[in-house]
Structure 1
Amino acid sequence: MGTISTLAHHMGFFTLINAPRDIHLIILLRCLRLSAFGAISLILVKYLKSVGIEETQIGLLLTLTFIGELIFSFILAHVSDRLGRRRIIILSSILMSVTGVLLYYFNSFWLLAIIMVIGIITPSGTEVGPFRSIEQSAISTLVKYEDRSDIFSWYTFSGGFSSGIGNFIIGYSLDKSGSDYSICFAYYSAIGIVLALISCLLSDKVEVEKDTSVAKNLEDDEASSSTPLLPSISPPKEKPNTLISYILPNFTEKSLNKLLLLTFLISLDSLGLSLSSKAWTVYYFTQRYLLDSASTGVLFGTASFIGAISCLIGTYFCKKYGPIRTMITSHSIASVLLIFHSLPINYVSMSSIFLIRAFVRTMDLPSKHLFISAVVEPSERTTAIGFINAAKTLVNTTGPIVSGYLASKDMLWLCFLIAGFLRLSYDFGLFIKFYGSREGANAAQ
């Protein structure tokens, strides 16, 4: 019994149980949303192909989803602290539901292009929209620093596990219905409505903390304005008038430098991820190994389950070895295994590599969430996470076009080769800039 209790402690189970009610609601929202995202990503490329869209056009449509996310998600995340985090989540959930309906009823390329830009849809099965940046920022507001790695790991676990459920449900349903894609879009739209209703239950505690330190300092300055201070104190330096300073006006110079460096490295990783997105990986496996819907759902659902469990194990490694070491080690192994996807091997070998990579690839996510939340000030978190996600989305716009072109030339395997080396570049950059550095040590505390 003691062993089980110790294991539960290391995996953050007790932290989750004792977390505030809003944390439980955020986890529930994450579960429902990722089950829908996982379901839609399993059929998106196959569905577009079935309505007469060519691979190169599909690549363009998937790129438009990233452009839409870049424009709207960053704006929504950026203004969420002023308009209200709960309100933005509700509106985004409704938009997600409408997107599912429109995608099914309109098959014209140009109408689909408009829907992809203004709607909320994911070709990767992962988060899109402003949800993640708002929820991660809310978690940092609601939870003490020492408990965040536990909550972030369960946040990630719930998403991966639920994405797997969505894969199984849709894979089985399509197999039984003879590829009736209306089931998937109905499921996606219904989940959006449920999300909007549950979001109404979030309390005001999820909203941004008021930074009273600035106001207090101003009051202290006014109170002591008549008292002479030490002479010859140099005035503070003005912030440089750069484009970045206008985009992120409230960031300190120290936080801004760290944020830009992290954003560059994460963008390299995201570019590799966009070349090997779930939608194209599903297409690659089904075309190369002639998988039916049920087999595809089982394979990708199992991978999601394995990845979800790996997140909890990643929490243990994060606590024991620190976030930087955990991030570099697990992510670099996953990147090498991604390169192996390009090899001309049989299905048993390929699926084994795929599942092993699924176990390793998500182990760094709790550490990554913890590290990003630690390197910027609390008042900067929502904007910082939104900025990073926007930068990721910007570089993601190139991936689907390249993948679509290579797929049309029967060279989709090359995407995995390029993607693996891009993601290894991210690991190398983390090692050079943060391994053993003061920032890395502070994040581990």
Structure 2
Amino acid sequence: MKAMISTAFTPANCVFASRALRDFADAFVAILLPVYLLSLGFSPLQVGIVATASLFGSALLTICVGLIGARLDLRALLLVAAVWMVATGVAMSSASDYLPLLAIAFVGTMNPSAGSVSVFVPLEHAVLARETPDRQRTSMFANYSLIGALASALGGLAAATPDLMTKLGLDQLTAIKLMFVLYAMLGLLGGLFYSRIPPRPPSRELDKPAPLGPSRAIVVKLAALFSLDAFAGGFAVQSLLALWLFERFELSLSQAGVFFFWTGILSAFSFPVAARLSKRIGLVNTMVFTHIPSSIALALAALAPSLTLALGFLLVRAALSQMDVPTRSSYVMAVVTDAERAAAASFTSVPRSLAAAASPALAGALFAASYRAWPFLICAALKIVYDLLLLRKFRHVKPPEEMR
């Protein structure tokens, strides 16, 4: 029995379980956040500013992780992050004025993108990378992303819960506040899984003044490119996409929840496909040649004259746009040394978070000016530029498994 429990609570399985809980929570929060803010009387521009504050705050937290992650136990840092998620949910359920909400978004763990922009991600990447051989690394990250995406799809369905609560006599604002309480409870449960990861203090060789060493140049180049991708993605974070669907086509919460469930399902099953495809054409090629068609689909959705066409193109985008997630994570972990992995994961995430933080406010301004399609067109164009630059700069930089 003890052996079975030990096998079930491997570090990788604990990370998978915590990722599932967190992505489930992030997904319903990303959809409910604009509804909550609009119900409180705030404008689309103010919604965009809250999303910007959340992403910018995540960037600062991730910078801290990058600076200290190479010198502290990853398990301890994950537990602190889980406690912070609990505090964020409790605070959001209690606040209704704009400035406190803005402050909570900035200092908390709330994720308006319902994706991989989170202080948890670089820590989990480092734990998974140290537990996985090179040949299994991409598959491990594909499974990690698959579990997160499936949980996110279910979280999209859960966003319809306030509609169900209103039928039982609760008002919508109270129902949404209860969902933030659920967010806090899921953070607590995730922390229990993190607590099962064995503590592993860093070795003495990591006690260096700089957390990055021989791989500094390649990490800087990747970080610059990832920042462009993230800046583009910030124009189409899930909260803003939900806002567009609410305002452009008057979708209800229930309809939006079902739609985001299916986008999550499509994204989820694209991850194992990405892992298999990368074995045939390589990690960089997989990132680029799946990303470009997804950007084209986003642009077509923005210009679609009907709800059916818009949702169709967005579903195509969902099936392709996230295939670079496990491959990108695997690639970063592959081209740096083991001692640099926690720092590399953080320092490639930081510019993503910082760059993504700038664009939601710009998108909100465009929404407020009734240029609702422009954020998605800008997103698509910039992402295609990123893909072409990534292919040019890194097509010859191979991970170990591709050099055999």
Measure how far apart 1:274 and its partner are: 0.3
Q: Which residue of 148, 154, 164 corresponds with 1:176?
A: 164
Aligned to 1:286: 246
Q: Deviations over 1:43-88 (max 9, x none)?
A: 1111111112222222222211122112222203431332321111
Number of the residue aligned with 1:65: 54
Mapped pair 1:390 → 2:350: yes
Segments of 5+ residues of structure 1 without an aligned counterpart are 1-17, 215-245
Give the equivalent residue in structure 2 for 1:325. 285
What is the percentage of aligned positions where both structures have the same residue? 22
| TM-score normalised per structure 1 | 0.84
Kindly indicate whether the alpha-carbon contact (under 8 Å) linking 2:18 and 2:191 is maintained by their aligned counterparts in 1: no
AA at the equivalent of 2:213? T
Question: Which of the residues 148, 165, 190 maps onto 1:195?
Answer: 190
Distance 1:379 1:160 in 2: 29
The answer to whether residue 96 in structure 2 is matched with residue 107 in structure 1 is yes
Q: Deviations over 1:384-440 (max 9, x none)?
A: 1101111111112211110111111121210000100110011111121122x1x13
> Matched residue of 1:123: which SS?
coil
Question: 1:271–1:395: 8 Å Cα contact kept in structure 2?
Answer: yes
Is the contact between residue 77 and residue 386 of structure 1 (CA under 8 Å) also seen in structure 2?
yes
Partner of 2:169: none
Question: Within 1, Cα distance between the matches of 2:119 and 2:304?
Answer: 39
Q: Is the 8 A contact 2:55 2:357 kept in 1?
A: yes
Q: What amino acid is aligned across from residue 89 of structure 1 in structure 2?
A: L
The aligned residue for residue 3 of structure 2 is none
The secondary structure found in structure 1 opposite 2:270 is helix
Do residues 162 (structure 1) and 157 (structure 2) align? no
How do residues 211-250 of structure 1 correspond to structure 2 at under 5 angstroms? 211=205, 249-250=210-211
Q: Do the aligned partners of 1:78 and 1:383 also contact (CA within 8 Å) in 2?
A: yes
For 2:4, the equivalent position in structure 1 comes to none
CA offsets 1:328-364 (integer angstroms, 9 cap, x no match):
1001111111211220421111111111111111222
1:342 partner SS: helix
Equivalent residue in structure 2 for 1:120, among 101, 105, 109: 109
CA distance in 2, matches of 1:341, 1:183: 33
Match of 1:186 among 181, 187, 205: 181
Deviation string, structure 1 residues 113-172 (Cα, Å, up to 9, x no partner): 22112111111111344211011111111111111111100000011100011111222x
Instruction: Give 1:155's aligned amino acid.
Output: Y
- Within 5 Å, which residues of 2 pair with 1:28-427? 28-171=17-160, 173-178=161-166, 179=172, 180-205=175-200, 208=202, 211=205, 249-252=210-213, 255-427=215-387
For 1:429, the equivalent position in structure 2 comes to 389
Shift of 1:211: 4.1
RMSD over aligned CA atoms reads: 2.0
Q: Secondary structure at the match of 1:81?
A: coil
Instruction: Give the AA of the match of 1:132.
Output: V
Q: Which amino acid aligns with 1:123?
A: P
Compare 160-169 and 106-115 and name the one that shifted more.
106-115
Contact 1:282/1:296 (CA < 8 Å) preserved in 2?
yes
| Structure 2 CA distance for partners of 1:210 and 1:369, relative to 1, 3 Å | farther
The offset of 1:368, in angstroms, is 1.0
Equivalent position SS for 1:146: helix
Moved more, 52-61 or 374-383: 52-61
Deviation of the 1:309 alpha carbon: 0.5
Instruction: Output the CA distance in 1 between the equivalents of 2:67 and 2:25.
Output: 25
* Counterpart Cα distance in 2 of 1:329 and 1:290: 34
Give distance in 1, aligned partners of 2:64 and 2:285. 33
The verdict on how the C-alpha distance between 1:252 and 1:73 changes in structure 2, with shifts beyond 3 A counting, is closer
Count matched residues: 390
Q: Which amino acid aligns with 1:302?
A: W
Compare CA radii of gyration and give the structure with the larger one: 1
Question: Whole-Å Cα distance in 2 between the matches of residues 103 and 277 of structure 1?
Answer: 20
Q: Is the 8 A contact 2:11 2:198 kept in 1?
A: yes
Task: Report if the CA contact (8 A) 1:152-1:369 is conserved.
Answer: yes
C-alpha distance in 1 between matches for 2:267 and 2:211 = 36
Determine helix, strand or coil for the equivalent of 2:251: coil
Distance 1:82 1:161 in 2: 33
Letter of the aligned partner of 2:65 in structure 1? L
> Is the 1:263–1:388 contact (alpha carbons within 8 Å) kept by the matching residues of 2?
yes
Return 256-265 or 279-288, whichever deviates more: 256-265
Q: Is the 8 A contact 2:152 2:264 kept in 1?
A: yes
Task: Name the amino acid aligned to 1:322.
Answer: G
Give the distance between the partners of 2:221 and 2:378, measured in 1 at CA.
Answer: 22
Question: Which residue number in structure 2 is paired with residue 234 of structure 1?
Answer: none
TM-score by length of 2: 0.92
Give the superposition deviation at 1:252.
Answer: 3.4
**For structure 2, which runs of at least 5 residues remain unmatched after alignment?**
1-6, 167-171
